[in-house]
Structure 1
């Protein structure tokens, strides 16, 4: 099944100031996720950032708001972002494929994925753009995501799949991002 750009949106989950320092491989997570979000922005993919209990966990880290081109977010207190995002973001409701990235893989990301799948969406988990505090939790979340029927991919594979062809201004921008 090909992930089609016009039928795709993204939910960017909880890359927050107090969570990110505790994440496994946080430097790679930040770098990969920044490339993903900048690429999605280049391709015109609608994105929604979420924050879990902002008062306690802080705002989305600046590297990622800069890459996404927005500081706007949906506040949530549930672990799953599904209900809050779907209710408040009509640009997400009408899409088929929902790209997921963020933290923590085994909690908020996974619960959002399960709810999306149950509601009839096709969740697309970008494995090199999610993390947890413990690597084993993240690896187990990938297994569960596959069991739930999600598509697992990497940021580079996804960006080129959405891009579809070379020789365009967009393709040049994407190629510069991933180098």
Structure 2
């Protein structure tokens, strides 16, 4: 299946101030989430940002807020998977997209449970593994493995952006090519 931009939305899960410093691959995740968000904005893919218990874990990290710009907003959650929160479930359902890109933290908890819930709800989740972080490498790897077992598509941000463009004739090809360099 080719993933097409007009059939796709994204969820940026819990890339928060007090959580990110604990990620073993923090710098890579931060860089790749920002690159993914930048590319998705150019492709006009709708995105939802979630924050887990903002009062305790803090806001989305400043670089991601900056990448979103003035349009940044988030949806609060306390459930690990996003479908445990009625407003987020309604927002995702309301997008009318069949493919849902998922990235963020932690790979083996909130990202994985979100992917499983989306799959159960009839969506095709797509985990962007180089934009997902966990405190421990082993947890990240097993989160990715479990996602595969559940029928989640796993890919990298660069592969996904090029797939969403479809070819060099895409109007934003040059801009996205600069993002991934």
For residues 27-85 of structure 1, what are the alpha-carbon distances to aligned partners after superposition, in whole Å with 9 as ceiling and x for unaligned?
A: 11111111001000010000000000000000001111222333300000101112432
Which residue in the other structure is 2:74 paired with? 73
Question: Can you give the 5+ residue segments of structure 1 that lack an aligned partner in the other structure?
Answer: none
Give the TM-score of the pair, scaled to structure 1.
0.95
Question: Size of the alignment, in residue pairs?
Answer: 178
Is the CA contact 1:46–1:91 (under 8 Å) kept in the aligned structure 2?
Answer: no
For residues 96-140 of structure 1, what are the alpha-carbon distances to aligned partners after superposition, in whole Å with 9 as ceiling and x for unaligned?
A: 000000000011000101100000000000000001000100000
Which residue in the other structure is 1:7 paired with? 7
Aligned-partner Cα distance in 2 for 1:75–1:178: 30
Is the CA contact 1:11–1:101 (under 8 Å) kept in the aligned structure 2?
Answer: yes
Q: How does 1:1-179 map to 2 (within 5 A)?
A: 1-69=1-69, 70-84=71-85, 85-89=88-92, 91-92=94-95, 94-179=96-181
Residue 18 of structure 2 aligns to a residue whose secondary structure is: coil
| Aligned-residue RMSD, C-alpha | 1.2
Aligned-partner Cα distance in 2 for 1:66–1:43: 18
Is the CA contact 1:106–1:132 (under 8 Å) kept in the aligned structure 2?
Answer: yes
